[in-house]
Amino acid sequence: MNFVDFVHVYIPKNIYFNAFVVFFCIALGFALYRIDRVLNVAQDRPTKIFWIVLYMIGVAVTLLLLSVMIVHYYVV
């Protein structure tokens, strides 16, 4: 089973999922807009690494959700 079949079978196509994806994208965009301020406030190296890893996880989750949304609407 590939990714397209998995999405069509196991993830429901509804408006709430789309709203969640849009909200997640807006939240991630705002977080990336503020990352310089966060990294300037965090002085020690482990805290900076933690925030950068957290942002990378957010980017990965957002790209995954967007790909699911694209598969729902544009891949048959």
Q: What pLDDT sits at residue 76?
A: 65
Residue appearing with tokens 């999405």? 7
Residue appearing with tokens 């699911």? 68
- CA–CA distance, 34 with 58 (Å, rounded to integer): 14
Domain extents in the chain? 3-74
Q: What pLDDT sits at residue 24?
A: 82
Specify whether the CB–CB gap between 28 and 58 falls below 8 A. Answer: yes
pLDDT in tens, 7-65: 878 777 777 777 888 888 888 888 877 777 777 777 777 878 888 888 888 888 888 88
CA distances 70 to 8, 43, 47, 63, Å, are 11, 39, 35, 10
